[in-house]
Amino acid sequence: MEERQFPYQPGQMCPARAHIPVVLVTNATLELESDLASLGLADFSGHVVSSARLGVAKPDRQIYEVAAERAGVALDRCLFVDDRAENVEAAVALGMVGVHYGEPADLRESVSFLLDSSHAAVSLSGDVE
């Protein structure tokens, strides 16, 4: 498996969090939070919506609704990024803006207005998993 690098250093919050709520929506296991902490990524997002804890998985509509609620915004104010097209399509059907992630440029383009030099000191670079 190809090793991927995060666009920021462990222990550093996701640069977009300085401007917008960031919610990690995942179909991971119950160990995700401890795994993130052990990797120094506990501050990546403000909230984690885990299918293992919620009992529903992407692309079920409830997981997107809970994510928007945790972010404190309406569905139509959310940007949803995922590497699986069916998850992005489900989010878009609910009114979210969707980005099908294939490479760093896909995400960088979507959030560049938040991360330019006039808004943030850190910009996205490298691969995101």
Taking the C-alpha atoms of residue 94 and residue 52, their distance in angstroms, rounded to an integer, is: 22
Provide the pLDDT for residue 90: 97
pLDDT tens sequence across 49-66: 999 999 999 999 999 999
Degrees to nearest 5, angle at CA 30 with 24 and 33: 50
pLDDT attached to residue 118? 43
Cα(120)–Cα(93) distance, integer angstroms:
31
d(CA 25, CA 80): 9
Span 3-14, mean pLDDT?
52
Q: Output 127 or 14, whichever has higher pLDDT.
A: 14
| Rounded Cα–Cα distance for residues 64 and 61 (Å) | 5
How confident is the model over 72-102, as pLDDT tens digits? Answer: 999 999 999 999 999 999 999 999 999 898 8
Contact 93, 84 (CB under 8 A): no
| pLDDT value for 114 | 61
Residues 22-45 pLDDT 10s = 899 999 899 988 998 888 888 878
pLDDT at 9: 52
Could you give the domains of the chain? 21-115 (3.40.50.1000)
